[in-house]
Structure 1
Amino acid sequence: MSNKIHDLDTPCLLLDRDRLETNLERMKKVATSRSTLLRPHLKTSKSLEVASLALKASGGGATVSTLKEAEVLGRSGAVDLLYAVAISPQKLKRVAGLRAEGIDLKVVVDNVEMAEHLSAFYEQTGQTIPTLIELDLDGHRSGVRPEDSIQLLAIGRELDRYQQLRGVMAHAGESYALSDPADLQHSADNEAKSACAAAQTLCNSGLPCPIVSIGSTPTALMGTSYEGVTELRAGVFMFFDLVQSGVGVCRKDDIALSVLSTVISTNPDASRLVIDAGWMALSRDRGTASQAEDYGYGQVCLPDGIILTDVLVLDAQQEHGIIGVRRGSSACLPKLSIGDQLRILPNHACATAAQHGAYHVINKQAEVEAIWPRFSGW
């Protein structure tokens, strides 16, 4: 299959395979240099084809954020999975069902109450569900503070009643709000040290902690080797996006994902172009709004991928994207006609990809080599 992107119906999602493979190789080298396993997060891609490439780089283990991902990926052969969202009692039967199929699905908890539910489930069914304790490093969402030894040990002891404790998991969410390399390095070091300290607390009390899992794309790329860490988790690095560019861990030329759109109206008096990609195609994510450089709803590129500096999607309605020049810039809008195409780099790859049903995989010549379906659901 090889077609020019000009023949595609728009809006549609483009995936640059060369950039994807380069990004995967970069993270593989990072994990090797840090002497850890790589457990890539597949929540961004939700694609069997992307997962296949990612798992070649990782050696087999992967991370998921929904049980639907675990079902689709596990049944396709990715059997070493970590469900990295705090589990609830209602989902235990579904988890156990997947494990009965031969899928080594692990879950996470951050409180004694849920650990007790896991014990009760074992008592009712005799089924063990391996579990990690989620750590909260920065107060940004769920997890146990790593220095809270009372809570940490209470959860650990409850899980160990039926040999369900497998380790600890940390995610340095604060890293997405950083951009200074020194701050990123500090965040990465804190993530590793805090996770290892929590693991040591468990071990000092005679509890098992074979897995010490850390990771976010910024800290994985900025961190260094730290004794005791067993695996790195990261996901958006496969595609990258404008937020990660703003954080400073990639260049815009590393971004593998874009939305192909068509000019449907021009407004020379207002210096605006209108494209057929609104927030339904681009998402409402405005992740760059809090960064030093705001890209509106996306960075505009020519069909061949050349970036039009300071030309942005300034506003987005449901099916309309409004393109203009960044305020204060001396840049000019390209001279385009109705029917001409443009590509838009996303603020947040996860959110933009979620708006589409498939990737149109392109090569360096902007030819479509394949169509890779995406799946969705929970």
Structure 2
Amino acid sequence: MNSPVSLFSTLPTPAIILDRQRLEANCARMARRAADAGVRLRPHLKTAKSAEVARIATAGQFGGITVSTIAELAYFFEAGFRDITYAVGIAPSKLTAIEAYIARGARISIVLDSVRAAEAIAGHAGAPLSVLIEIDCGGHRAGVAAGSDALIAIAKRIADAPGLHLEGVLTHAGHSYHAASEAARAQIAIAERDAAVLAAERIRAAGMTCDTVSIGSTPTALTDVPLDGVTEIRPGVYVFFDLSQARLGVCNVDDIAVSVLATVIGHHREAGHMLVDAGALAISKDVSANEHDPHIGYGLVCDIDGRPIDGLYVADVHQEHGFVRSTHGTPPFERFPVGSQLRILPNHACMTVAPYREYHVLDTASDALTKWSKTYGW
């Protein structure tokens, strides 16, 4: 039997390690949640950016996915996915690329949240566009209030435009990442659901159709809040999970499916840290989990088998350097000589995996390491 030491020893570092069994378990968990709630699951692939992950996440589902970039849209279309929601506010300059994929057989939904944005795309000369109105359910990143007059004005402008089809409404409770308790997450999940359902009801009451009622964030999706009136959920980071989700109580640390493989490149005994070759670009500068646990830094350090090492964390990062320190004082220099390998669990998986060109997939069932593709960029 091959050990992770032998499987990883020839990999150039930093590299992303993906545990297939954890990935599959995470995807099965969300599929059960969608089935129990009676809604469709349209996974947001901005996290994984991988066709192989997408096939696992959509297995047994209706096949729709969510993306956030044109690069993702193109990559997943070429991989065979045809029902795609582009869940970032539309810029008119993106329409040419989107219409090209519609002409090739894709069903693409776009998102906007103002009359001005609707007017900017209403005069396009391409294929008919399905439009979702983004609703602000409390995060205040984007969107229109569900009870506002602006919502109906936007809906009417879309409905009246010959080249546009009002498909429905969409929202995302991104502020759930700051919920300090399960009860707080449930309250945000209720507000997310209610905002989307209210918006849909008001559009229908104004005489227009609203077939899709789409919500989505991993922390809110994984509550037991009923989803009456919702048609689909669009969570994303659940496929991998991360330290932020673990500290929120959404998952356990041993559910986290991705880690950064790094090599020890130095010992600075006077400063009290080890150096690894995974820095800000390799693990990101996201420190979101520190909101709930101040001793995580830029990531928790694990041994080569993926087991967290008590007290060891990435305390600081430069572009290509990570500083590994211990909450217990002196790091275990003798245990990890220069050249040895460690694995780092990320604060925010989406940010960490984004720049990599491939995954090194560990299949513990077959004791094998393979490569999976992914996209990157915009």
TM-score by length of 2: 0.94
User: SS of the residue aligned with 1:56?
Assistant: coil
Which one-letter code corresponds to 1:170 in the other structure? Answer: T
1:306 CA drift (Å): 1.0
Q: For residues 198-217 of structure 1, what are the structure 2 equivalents within 5 Å?
A: 198-217=199-218
Q: Does 1:80 align with 2:79?
A: no
1:354 CA drift (Å): 1.4
Q: Does 1:49 align with 2:52?
A: yes
Within 2, Cα distance between the matches of 1:140 and 1:89? 23
Counterpart residue number, 1:90: 93
Q: For residues 160-309 of structure 1, what are the structure 2 equivalents within 5 Å?
A: 160-161=159-160, 162=162, 164-309=165-310
Please tell me whether the aligned partners of residues 278 and 320 of structure 1 are also in contact (alpha carbons under 8 angstroms).
Answer: yes
Please tell me whether the aligned partners of residues 134 and 143 of structure 2 are also in contact (alpha carbons under 8 angstroms).
Answer: yes
Which one-letter code corresponds to 1:53 in the other structure? Answer: I
Q: Does 1:38 align with 2:41?
A: yes
User: SS of the residue aligned with 1:144?
Assistant: coil
Cα distance change, pair 139–30 in 1 and its aligned pair in 2 (3 A): closer
User: SS of the residue aligned with 2:123?
Assistant: helix
Cα distance change, pair 351–77 in 1 and its aligned pair in 2 (3 A): same
- The structure 1 residue matched to 2:66, chosen from 49, 63, 68, is 63
Please tell me whether the aligned partners of residues 274 and 331 of structure 2 are also in contact (alpha carbons under 8 angstroms).
Answer: no
User: SS of the residue aligned with 2:132?
Assistant: strand
1:58 CA drift (Å): 3.1
Cα distance change, pair 83–349 in 1 and its aligned pair in 2 (3 A): same
Within 1, Cα distance between the matches of 2:284 and 2:329? 28
Q: Report the count of equivalent residues.
A: 371
Please tell me whether the aligned partners of residues 309 and 331 of structure 1 are also in contact (alpha carbons under 8 angstroms).
Answer: no
User: SS of the residue aligned with 1:225?
Assistant: coil
Within 2, Cα distance between the matches of 1:139 and 1:308? 35
Q: Which moved more, 1:355-364 or 1:267-276?
A: 267-276
Cα distance change, pair 331–352 in 1 and its aligned pair in 2 (3 A): same
Q: Does 1:372 align with 2:372?
A: yes
Which consecutive unaligned segments of at least 5 residues does structure 2 have?
none
Cα distance change, pair 293–222 in 1 and its aligned pair in 2 (3 A): farther
Q: CA RMSD in A?
A: 1.8
Q: Does 1:348 align with 2:351?
A: no
1:269 CA drift (Å): 3.9
For residues 283-342 of structure 1, the C-alpha deviation after alignment (integer angstroms, 9 at most, x for no partner) is 12122232234411110000001111221011111221111113xx47963622111111
TM-score by length of 1: 0.94
Q: Which moved more, 1:348-357 or 1:49-58?
A: 49-58
Cα distance change, pair 140–331 in 1 and its aligned pair in 2 (3 A): farther
Please tell me whether the aligned partners of residues 310 and 331 of structure 1 are also in contact (alpha carbons under 8 angstroms).
Answer: no
1:75 CA drift (Å): 2.4
Counterpart residue number, 2:135: 135
Within 1, Cα distance between the matches of 2:316 and 2:67? 32
Within 2, Cα distance between the matches of 1:70 and 1:279? 27
Counterpart residue number, 1:144: 144
Identity %: 41
1:11 CA drift (Å): 1.2
Within 2, Cα distance between the matches of 1:331 and 1:253? 26
User: SS of the residue aligned with 1:344?
Assistant: strand
User: SS of the residue aligned with 2:42?
Assistant: strand
Within 2, Cα distance between the matches of 1:192 and 1:330? 47
1:368 CA drift (Å): 4.5
Counterpart residue number, 1:8: 11
Q: Does 1:28 align with 2:31?
A: yes
Counterpart residue number, 2:113: 110
Please tell me whether the aligned partners of residues 289 and 296 of structure 1 are also in contact (alpha carbons under 8 angstroms).
Answer: yes
1:367 CA drift (Å): 5.0
Q: Which moved more, 1:79-88 or 1:267-276?
A: 267-276
Please tell me whether the aligned partners of residues 264 and 340 of structure 2 are also in contact (alpha carbons under 8 angstroms).
Answer: yes
Q: Which moved more, 1:164-173 or 1:274-283?
A: 274-283
Within 2, Cα distance between the matches of 1:44 and 1:366? 26
For residues 92-113 of structure 1, the C-alpha deviation after alignment (integer angstroms, 9 at most, x for no partner) is 2221111111000100110001
Counterpart residue number, 2:323: 322
Which one-letter code corresponds to 1:188 in the other structure? Answer: A
Within 1, Cα distance between the matches of 2:365 and 2:29? 23
